[in-house]
Structure 1
C-alpha cells in the first residue's frame, strides 16, 4: 500500500503556504484551549523548548508521552513560550489512520499538520513507520504516544508498543529521547461525557499539568550485543520481520532489544507520573505557569 497523500505533507507543497495557514489556525486554537479556556502548568518547559529550537544540527528529537485524550496533540504544545506557530520547528506526529485519515479532506488537513498515518495492527515495519524513520533521519522532531491508544484512567503507564523503540534503533543518528507526562486533558475532552460520547467542544476551567522529563540515554551498541546473546536462548514464533543492521539482528534479537528500550521509556514515564502527583499535592509548578 502506498503512502497516503504524502505529497501534501511536503514542505514545498504550494510554497508551504497551506502548511503555514494550518499551523497558524491550529496554534491559535491550542493557545486558546490551553491558556484561556483552561489553566496549563508546565514543569521543566525550558528543556523541551531548548531541544525544539536549539539541538545540534542533524540530531533528531523523539518525544514520547502518555495519551489522555484526542486533544493531547496539538493542545499540549499550546503553553506559554512554546513556538507553536512555527511550522518549520513543529513536530511530526504518528496519528491513527482510521480516525484522522478516513476521508480526503481530513487526510489533506492532517498531512498539512505534519501527521503521519499509522494503521492499527499494521506492524512496526509498515511503510508509514518507514516514513517516520525518514523524518528522524533528516534530523526532525517526531512525537509518539507509545501506549498506542487513549487511556483516561489514573493508572500506571501501560506496556508500550514497540514501534517507538524500533525507530530509535533504526535511526542513522540516535535521537534525543525526551519523556513527557501530562494529566488534565481527560477532563478537557472526556471520552464519555454525555451518552457515552465526547463533548462537541473542549470543556473549560480545567487544570492541565505537563511534566517534561530529562533526555534518556541508550547505549545501543551494548544493548544490541546483550539482545543478541539473550535471544540465542529463546525459542519464539516468527512473523517475518526483516533483519536489520548493524550486526544483522534477527527477529528474536530485535524483540529483546525493543522490549528493553520500551521498558526503559515506560519506567521514565511512570516516574514522571509519580512525580506529578507530588507536585499536585504541593500545588507547586516550575518553569512556566499559565
Structure 2
C-alpha cells in the first residue's frame, strides 16, 4: 500500500505555506468554538504546554485521549495560552482513512494539517503506522485516540486498541506519554442531534472540561519479562507479525506486551475520567448556586 499524499505532509511542501494557512485557519476555528461560543476549563494545562514547547530535544511526545466527538481534535487544543497557531509545534494525529481521506480534496486538507491516515481494521503493522514511527523518530508530537472510535456515553473508558502501545514500544526513541481526558464535546457536537445526524455547526453555550494528567512511567524490562511469561500459555494464532527487534519478541509475546501497556494507559485515563467527572459536577453545582443568587 502506498502512502496517501505523503508529499503534501512534508514541511517543505510549497515552502510550508499551505500548512501555515491550514493550521492558522483550524486554530482560529478551535479558539472560537472552545472559548468564544463555549466555555473551556483546563486542569494542569502547563504540563501539556511545557511538553509541547520545551521537552528535551529529539524526544517525541505521544498524547492519548478519550474520543467524545468529531470535534475533539482540533478544539481540544484551542484553550487559552496553547500555541495552536504555530505549525512547527502542531501535533501529528492518526485520522480514520474512511472519514478524513474520502476524496482528494479532503486528503490534501488533512495531510497538510499534519494528519496520518489509518485504515481501521488494517492492523498495527499497516504501512501508515511506519510513517507515524518516522514522525516519532524525528522527535515530534503525535496524538492518538486509542479507543478507536467516538463514544458519547458517560461510561468507563473502553478497552484500548493496541496501536498506540505498539508505537510506544517500536519508537526508536522512547516517547513521553501524556494521558488526557475531556468531557463536554458530546454536547457541542452530539452524534444524534436531529434524526440521528450531527448538527451542521457546533452548538453553543456548552461547557468543555479538559483534565491533563502527568507523563506516564513504564518499566519496560519488567513488562517484557511479564509478556514473555504470559505468552508461554497462549495459543500460536499467527497474524504474520515480524519479530520485535532488538528484543526478539515473537508474536504472542508482542500481543501480551501491547496488552500490558494498553492496560496501564487505560488505568491512567480512567482515573482522569473520574477526576473530570468530579470537576464537571462541581462546576455545575457552582453555576447553579450563582444562578439562584441572581434570581433571588
Shorter-chain TM-score above 0.5: yes
Alpha-carbon offset, residue 248 of structure 1: 1.0
Structure 2 CA distance for aligned equivalents of residues 106 and 278 of structure 1: 38
Structure 2 CA distance for aligned equivalents of residues 236 and 266 of structure 1: 26
Q: Please report the TM-score for the alignment, with normalisation by the length of structure 1.
A: 0.97
For residue 64 of structure 2, give the secondary structure of its aligned residue in structure 1.
strand
For residue 180 of structure 1, give the secondary structure of its aligned residue in structure 2.
strand
Alpha-carbon offset, residue 283 of structure 1: 2.3
Structure 1 CA distance for aligned equivalents of residues 203 and 283 of structure 2: 22
Structure 2 CA distance for aligned equivalents of residues 74 and 224 of structure 1: 35
Structure 1 CA distance for aligned equivalents of residues 161 and 276 of structure 2: 23
Structure 1 CA distance for aligned equivalents of residues 92 and 6 of structure 2: 13
| Residue matched to 2:128 | 128
- 1:76 to 2:69 alignment: no
For residue 128 of structure 2, give the secondary structure of its aligned residue in structure 1.
helix
For residue 283 of structure 1, give the secondary structure of its aligned residue in structure 2.
helix
Where do 1:155-234 residues align within 5 Å?
Answer: 155-234=155-234
Alpha-carbon offset, residue 220 of structure 1: 1.2
Deviations 1:125-180 (A, max 9, x none): 00001100110011000000000000000000000000000000001111000000
Alpha-carbon offset, residue 235 of structure 1: 1.6
Structure 2 CA distance for aligned equivalents of residues 178 and 192 of structure 1: 31
Rg larger in structure: 2
Which deviates the most, 214-223 or 148-157? 214-223
Alpha-carbon offset, residue 237 of structure 1: 1.3
| Residue matched to 1:35 | 35
Structure 2 CA distance for aligned equivalents of residues 121 and 165 of structure 1: 16
Q: Please report the TM-score for the alignment, with normalisation by the length of structure 2.
A: 0.95
Give the unaligned 5+ runs of structure 2: 285-296
Structure 1 CA distance for aligned equivalents of residues 122 and 171 of structure 2: 20
Alpha-carbon offset, residue 233 of structure 1: 2.3
Structure 2 CA distance for aligned equivalents of residues 196 and 229 of structure 1: 47
Q: Which has the higher contact order (CA 8 A, sep 6+)?
A: 1
For residue 173 of structure 2, give the secondary structure of its aligned residue in structure 1.
coil
Alpha-carbon offset, residue 278 of structure 1: 1.7
Structure 2 CA distance for aligned equivalents of residues 129 and 48 of structure 1: 24
Alpha-carbon offset, residue 224 of structure 1: 1.2
Coordinate RMSD, CA, aligned? 0.9
| Residue matched to 2:115 | 115
Structure 2 CA distance for aligned equivalents of residues 234 and 169 of structure 1: 21
Structure 2 CA distance for aligned equivalents of residues 279 and 73 of structure 1: 21
Alpha-carbon offset, residue 15 of structure 1: 0.2
For residue 210 of structure 2, give the secondary structure of its aligned residue in structure 1.
strand
